[in-house]
Amino acid sequence: MHVGVCQNPSSPAKAFVKINNKPTNDWKVYYSQYSSVKPVIKWTIDFALDSKPMTGFSFGVCKKSVFIDPSNRDRPLSACRGTKVVTRDGIFVDGQKRTVDVPQGAEDGIKLFQESKPGTILSIEIARHPKTDRKVTAFKVGGIPVYYFSNTEEDMLVPCLDMADDRIRSLKAEAKPSHKGLCVDTDDNFVYTNPEEKVDDFRREAGKP
């Protein structure tokens, strides 16, 4: 096993350790017990470092194939096909930034997300699309919709987190995760990280704020 440090400052934050010379990302969290064609879940931020910018945190949904495919272990969720996630830079779908069909006012939700504090609620809900009035899935930050989508393929979608981040360290969900990386710990329904305690074993690649 070899611990490495990525040198590309423009890449998303990603903690990794090289095994057989391959980087593996161990900061992802999945809630397969909430998998559904229209999943619903809520997280409440428990601890965040105000002095740190958000780097690599994201939340959203993914297809089951994402977390059973070993080739995705070295990619943040925002770079994986089969995902829809909220990041500090906006919405990413199938590894690409989404710039159309973003709700009016979503920039306020993204700003609130970037400045997340204890008590900030991140949620995946069933909602009515403001233009079509159809039932859709909504990603919300503090109650502000930041993305709507319809699961037209009727795939089972799994709520997920990527906790390779310098700001958000602990969240509380409604249940324990079904799967988690080696760098994520659990306590009851909380998931948390403490990079300082793992500094001898893992190194983080931090993107510029």
- The model's pLDDT over 110-141, given as tens digits with 9 standing for 90+, comes to 999 999 999 999 999 999 998 888 999 999 99
pLDDT 10s digits, 40-77: 999 999 999 999 999 999 999 999 888 888 888 778 99
Torsion angles phi and psi, residue 43, rounded to 5: -120, 145
pTM of this structure: 0.82
Q: How far apart are CA 198 and CA 60, in angstroms?
A: 26
The answer to whether the beta carbons of residues 111 and 128 sit under 8 Å apart is no
Looking at residue 16, its pLDDT comes to: 40
Neighbouring CB atoms inside 10 A of 190's CB total 15
pLDDT 10s digits, 176-200: 999 998 889 999 899 998 755 544 4
Q: Which fold has domain 27-199?
A: Jelly Rolls (2.60.120)
Quote the strand ranges of 50-149, DSSP E: 58-63, 83-87, 90-93, 96-97, 121-128, 135-141, 144-149
Q: Are strands 83-87 and 203-205 parallel, antiparallel or unpaired?
A: unpaired
Looking at residue 126, its pLDDT comes to: 96
